[in-house]
Amino acid sequence: MNCACEGGNSRGCDCVMASACPKTPGRAIGLRQDRLLRPAGPTAHRTAEVDVRSPPVLPEAVGWDGHMTSETDLRGRTALVTGGSRGIGAATARRLAREGADVAVTYVRGKDAAEEVVRDIEALGRRAVALRADSADAAQAGDAVRRAAEELGGLDVLVGNAAVGMTGPLESLSLADVDRLLAVNVRGVFLAARSAAAVMGDGGRIITVGSCVTARVPGPGATLYAMSKSAVVGLTKALARELAGRGITANVVHPGPTDTDMNPADGPYASGQAAVTALGRFGTAEEVASMVAFLAGPDAAYVTGAEFSVDGGYAA
């Protein structure tokens, strides 16, 4: 079963978590950086009764327009968000544009969704472009950065969001599965970062979207996915050291269960996912995007090689 993926053609990349892949019995599909495994075993009957809480209602401040905004100023900056046609990627692209950046997004099959993000950004008075690029393809992964820099007249911020997910017992994962997932989640991230370092000026930002499973794996079946996201942590810390002399920072953001169209907070496995968090609820894509925007801004110039969890206390 092939899915329309923001980061590459791979089974399970953008599917809702299912109990099993229809083509490979026993394989759960659909884990991405904004999903958690469905709890299994003795605790399963308890998590089924947990209520999913809604995000708290924030007090209205003077002049507040209803958006989660900050004093981040990205005017005159340019950014590329890989896998930016939906979910966390789309929210991040829109947030960076609201802060003043011109933004490019990549997609694989979600052309219409990517073009909608572009229109939203242009409505804010910023420049935007959608680029088709499959992070599973080594040539395209790096070339997307070069194309974005050409379209926008430079590149200051790279947000590596494109990823695929595949879960299942060790014996069910083929070599092709391993190669496909690592091509997108690790090699593609590395190649994009390398290309970004080549075109960025001093003071650039490299921000990668990781996963809460690097800190805690809630159940069996996530070996391959957790391995790939843990590799991104090591890459980020090494990039921080290698690029520090140019003032380029590298950080990773780990989302927890996040309410998106492919993993809704009222979905069939939402209760179990929310139960693993301290706050007892899903996060929003905008909450993750707000952390990315901070790291992209001038106030984060002294922040590098760090991990930031936006997971509702999942790792607490």
How does DSSP assign 109-160, residue by residue?
S-HHHHHHHHHHHHHTT--EEEEE--TTSHHHHHHHHHHHHHHHTS-SEEEE
User: Under 8 Å CB-to-CB from 177, ≥6 apart: which residues?
Assistant: 11, 166, 224
User: Under 8 Å CB-to-CB from 121, ≥6 apart: which residues?
Assistant: 93, 94, 97, 103, 127, 128
- Asked whether the predicted pLDDT for residue 283 surpasses 90, the reply is yes
- pLDDT band, residue 266 (cuts 50/70/90): very high
pTM of the predicted structure, to 2 decimals = 0.79
- Quick one: the chain helix, strand, coil %, rounded to 5? 40, 15, 45
Looking at residue 43, the DSSP 8-state letter turns out to be G
> Is 107 tagged catalytic?
no
- pLDDT band, residue 111 (cuts 50/70/90): very high
- The C-alpha atoms of residue 251 and residue 307 are separated, in whole angstroms, by 6
What's residue 263's pLDDT? 84
What's residue 219's pLDDT? 84
- Asked whether the predicted pLDDT for residue 135 surpasses 90, the reply is yes
User: Under 8 Å CB-to-CB from 150, ≥6 apart: which residues?
Assistant: none
Tokens for 28, please give them. 């759960």
Exposed e or buried b per residue across 105-115, where buried means at least 16 C-beta atoms within 10 angstroms of its C-beta: bbbbbbeebbb
What's residue 218's pLDDT? 85
- Kindly list the domain boundaries of the chain, sorted by start residue: 41-48+74-310
The amino acid at residue 169 is P
What's residue 53's pLDDT? 57
- Mean residue pLDDT of the chain comes to 84
Q: Is 170 helix (H, G, I), strand (E, B) or coil?
A: helix
Tokens for 279, please give them. 């706050």
pLDDT tens readout for residues 22-78: 344 334 333 333 333 344 444 333 333 445 556 655 444 334 344 544 557 999 999
CATH architecture of structural domain 41-48+74-310: 3-Layer(aba) Sandwich (3.40)
The region of weakest confidence among 41-45, 86-90, 187-191 is 41-45
Catalytic residue among 107, 225, 269, 314: 225
How far is it between the farthest Cα atoms of the chain? Answer: 57
